[in-house]
């Protein structure tokens, strides 16, 4: 039995997990959890990467003897190194306002296949004052891997979120990178590739974009599934063998991101549980009592993808204001606001699932909800009702499980294709099935268009 350490960093917390594949299943145990979040410095939002590095080292010590280490995190954010390999400044958070107002150039989608998000790495670089002093760019998980091993690289699944990869070739695009210094972007690595050693322990590249790792652990029995990786963001889509680069796909704001084993994660970003997290932060209260009351509350429908909801701040007031300005009933109580968030997310999930099928030509029979949102029973039931499809919820630890599985396969402790790896996850006892119930479902659609 070989144990591995999975470092899983999210926008609100991070953890180090010890995982093993044994007896035909994969098991994980959290050994260290720590807070994370952007901090205001000099008028901008930054991540405390040195602090995260210290927590990662503490977690690896607690993980004990392991056969390898793998790191995943959120996407698009990066650190810039100078010529001596030192970090010029802590990475700026993607929720910072420095890219507000940026518009995509014509022809980008046909090359990188990405849904327009103003915080994608290529747009952040347009607003980057440190670029003239930079020798190399490392995305967050690659930066932490570099600090562990002294070796640099760019893991492919996360690199595809930068907007600088040609999604057709899987390589850095000469056309999109021609104005960048030649040495800025490191060589690509793929999930399963070696990435150096830390204290004699191999570091292995995994699906370092956390959604790429989460999709590895979707417990699907066939390929006729949609997934919702539900956390701070809801990433809603299907798994494809090749990208969809049509004008209709671009107008629907769908993205083509690289997945493990050469797959394409064809998905739409939905604002996700960030809306709920910010409300709870403002209210300084627990979620469970509100969820119980929200079951019987009347909500309103708003567009969770409206950019007004992206920055930190008074989320309840913004939801109330949006409803008032758009002629919707204004939710007045906390349970009504919670129900409004969950109803609106469920409908946005439905829109993305339906659009993904229509645009890709791939039909699905089931929707898999993985990540923290799998524990939200009301959201899962509302999503099943809205989609008119069964929802299988779980595992909540999908990102860590996918990280572990890619490492285990690289070490020879697991074998086969993604289908084989997913068989190990299907034995998880936490999976729960929700069947759609008869109810009136709003036909209001959330915005997916960039036009």
Task: Let me know if residue 179 belongs to a domain.
Answer: yes
Secondary structure (3-state) at 235 = strand
Same structural domain for residues 194 and 295? Answer: no
Note the pLDDT of residue 442.
Answer: 58
Task: Let me know if residue 70 belongs to a domain.
Answer: yes
Same structural domain for residues 139 and 250? Answer: no
Is 447's pLDDT higher than 60? no
Same structural domain for residues 349 and 275? Answer: yes
Is 398's pLDDT higher than 90? yes
Task: Let me know if residue 422 belongs to a domain.
Answer: no
Alpha carbon distance 153, 151 (integer Å) = 7
The one catalytic residue in 142, 210, 303, 355 is 210
Domain limit, last residue, from 208, 241, 272: 208
Same structural domain for residues 49 and 167? Answer: yes
Task: Let me know if residue 413 belongs to a domain.
Answer: no
Task: Let me know if residue 235 belongs to a domain.
Answer: yes
Tell me how crowded residue 317 is: count the other CB atoms within 10 A of its CB.
Answer: 12
Instruction: Please state the pTM of the whole predicted model.
Output: 0.92
Same structural domain for residues 85 and 120? Answer: yes
Contact 181, 112 (CB under 8 A): no
**What's the whole-number average pLDDT of the chain?**
95
Q: Which domain holds residue 115?
A: 3-208
pLDDT confidence tier of residue 103, bands split at 50, 70 and 90: confident
> Structurally, how many domains does the chain consist of?
2
Structure-token pair, residue 105: 């150039």
Same structural domain for residues 285 and 340? Answer: yes
The model's pLDDT over 47-61, given as tens digits with 9 standing for 90+, comes to 999 999 999 999 999
Task: Let me know if residue 407 belongs to a domain.
Answer: no
Average the pLDDT over 336-364 and give the result.
Answer: 98
Same structural domain for residues 257 and 131? Answer: no
User: How far, CA to CA in Å, does 63 sit from each of 68, 174, 256?
Assistant: 11, 41, 35
Is 444's pLDDT higher than 60? no
Tell me how crowded residue 191 is: count the other CB atoms within 10 A of its CB.
Answer: 29
Same structural domain for residues 284 and 358? Answer: yes
pLDDT confidence tier of residue 104, bands split at 50, 70 and 90: confident
Respond yes or no: is residue 48 known to be catalytic: no
Same structural domain for residues 44 and 172? Answer: yes
Same structural domain for residues 276 and 364? Answer: yes
CATH code, domain carrying 89: 3.30.420.40
């Amino acid at each position: 039995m070989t144990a591995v350490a999975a470092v899983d960093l999210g926008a609100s917390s991070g953890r180090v997990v010890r995982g093993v594949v044994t007896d035909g299943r994969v098991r994980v145990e959290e050994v260290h959890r720590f807070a994370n979040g952007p901090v205001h410095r000099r008028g901008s939002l930054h991540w405390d990467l040195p602090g995260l590095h210290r927590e990662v080292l503490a977690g690896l010590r607690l993980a004990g003897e392991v056969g390898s280490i793998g790191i995943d995190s959120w996407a698009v954010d990066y650190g810039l190194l100078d010529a001596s390999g030192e970090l010029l400044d802590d990475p700026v958070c993607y929720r910072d306002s420095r890219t507000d107002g940026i518009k995509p150039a014509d022809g980008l989608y046909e090359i990188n296949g990405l849904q327009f998000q103003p915080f994608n790495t290529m747009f952040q670089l347009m607003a980057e004052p440190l670029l003239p002093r930079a020798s190399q760019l490392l995305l967050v998980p690659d930066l932490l891997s570099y600090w562990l091993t002294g070796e640099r690289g760019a893991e492919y699944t996360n690199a595809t979120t930068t907007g600088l990869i040609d999604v057709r070739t899987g390589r850095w695009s000469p056309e999109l990178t021609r104005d960048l210094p030649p040495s800025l972007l490191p060589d690509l690595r793929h999930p399963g590739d070696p990435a150096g050693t830390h204290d004699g322990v191999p570091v292995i590249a995994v699906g370092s974009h956390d959604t790429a790792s989460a999709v590895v652990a979707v417990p699907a029995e066939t390929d006729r599934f949609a997934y919702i990786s539900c956390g701070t963001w809801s990433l809603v889509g299907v798994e494809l063998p090749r990208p969809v680069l049509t004008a209709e796909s671009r107008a629907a704001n769908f993205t083509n991101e690289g997945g493990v084993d050469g797959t394409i994660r064809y998905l739409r970003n939905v604002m996700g549980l960030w809306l709920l997290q910010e409300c709870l932060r403002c209210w300084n209260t627990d979620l469970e009592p509100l969820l119980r009351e929200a079951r019987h509350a009347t909500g309103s429908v708003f567009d969770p993808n409206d950019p007004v909801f992206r920055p930190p701040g008074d989320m309840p007031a913004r939801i109330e204001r949006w409803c008032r300005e758009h002629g919707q009933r204004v939710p007045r109580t906390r349970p009504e606001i919670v129900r409004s968030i969950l109803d609106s997310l469920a409908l946005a999930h439905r829109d993305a699932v339906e659009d993904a099928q229509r645009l890709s030509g791939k039909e699905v029979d089931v929707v898999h909800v993985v990540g923290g949102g799998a524990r939200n029973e009301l959201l899962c039931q509302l999503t099943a009702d809205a989609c008119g499809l069964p929802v299988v919820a779980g595992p909540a630890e999908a990102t860590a499980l996918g990280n572990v599985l890619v490492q285990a396969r690289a070490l020879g402790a697991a074998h086969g294709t993604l289908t084989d790896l997913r068989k190990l996850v299907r034995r998880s006892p936490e999976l729960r099935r929700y069947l759609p119930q008869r109810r009136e479902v709003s036909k209001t659609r959330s915005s997916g268009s960039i036009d």
